[in-house]
Amino acid sequence: MTAQLAALYRLMLRTQLTRGRLAALLGLGAVGVVVGFAIGRAEVVEPLTAGTRFVNVFGLSLLVPVATLVFASAALGDPAEDGTLVYLWLRPVPRWRIVAAAVAAAATVTWPVVVVPLVLSALLTGAGADLVVGTVAGATAGMIAYSALFVALGLRVKRALVWGLLYIFIWEGFVATANTTAARLAIRSYARSILSDATGVTLRLADFTVLSSWLVPVAVGVVAAAYATRRLRRMDIA
């Protein structure tokens, strides 16, 4: 079991981490670093508030979901599309192991790509350790849910990148900002709550408890992974 899981994990790390993806996302992360630096130099009255709002808008609402989408949707979506999934599917490997390896690989690749520039930009704002802790925790919680969700999306639809961007910008960025009820259906609300709790800065639609802010993303991840496993069992393999 361990050998199979490790082999799948290594394979998916290698297939997801292309130069193009890495360059594009590191470029996006660099933008965050530059803005963090600019906030730090601007001598704002409340750097913690400015830094928290910046991490919320740029990090948790853009960089975390988009970067996770790029890697996670490709984890099983690319093999399904190009036909190489057959080499994994036609082996005596429980389907959940394939999904687990894909989710773990997506999270592994995404985490440094997202967290390193966000932590750098948080440091450069001069807001202190609370912002760094909130940034790491919020980004990690969001990534857990997004990784599984977008792995499932990659198996479910063609052009998962487009559907994922629609989810991120239309649903989470627009519909789920209407009120608290709608916000419950957006992963970023929970990540935002973790950030708000860590920094003590009040953010709109970020009033979930710490417990639920961690439990819900984990639950979303588990349900999405279970769906992906079911989908993998039943789908036609090209």
Please, which residue, 93 or 223, has the CB nearer to other proteins? 93
Dihedral over alpha carbons 139, 144, 145, 150 (to 10 degrees): 100
Please, which residue, 11 or 133, has the CB nearer to other proteins? 11
- Shortest Å distance, C-beta 165 to other proteins: 26
- Chain CA centroid to CA 223, Å: 16
List of residues contacting other proteins (CB under 8 A): 3-4, 7-8, 11, 14-15, 82-84, 86-94, 236-238
- Shortest Å distance, C-beta 9 to other proteins: 12
Q: What is the spatial distance between Cα 195 and Cα 157, in angstroms, rounded to a whole number? A: 32
Please, which residue, 8 or 216, has the CB nearer to other proteins? 8
- Shortest Å distance, C-beta 125 to other proteins: 39
- Shortest Å distance, C-beta 71 to other proteins: 16
- Shortest Å distance, C-beta 7 to other proteins: 4
Specify whether the CB–CB gap between 151 and 76 falls below 8 A.
Answer: yes
Q: What is the spatial distance between Cα 106 and Cα 72, in angstroms, rounded to a whole number? A: 5
Q: What is the spatial distance between Cα 46 and Cα 48, in angstroms, rounded to a whole number? A: 5
Specify whether the CB–CB gap between 16 and 74 falls below 8 A.
Answer: yes
Specify whether the CB–CB gap between 213 and 142 falls below 8 A.
Answer: no
How does DSSP classify residue 236?
Answer: P
Please, which residue, 3 or 211, has the CB nearer to other proteins? 3
Please, which residue, 11 or 165, has the CB nearer to other proteins? 11
Q: What is the spatial distance between Cα 129 and Cα 236, in angstroms, rounded to a whole number? A: 50
Torsion sign, CA atoms 94, 95, 96, 102 = positive
Please, which residue, 220 or 235, has the CB nearer to other proteins? 235
- Shortest Å distance, C-beta 16 to other proteins: 11
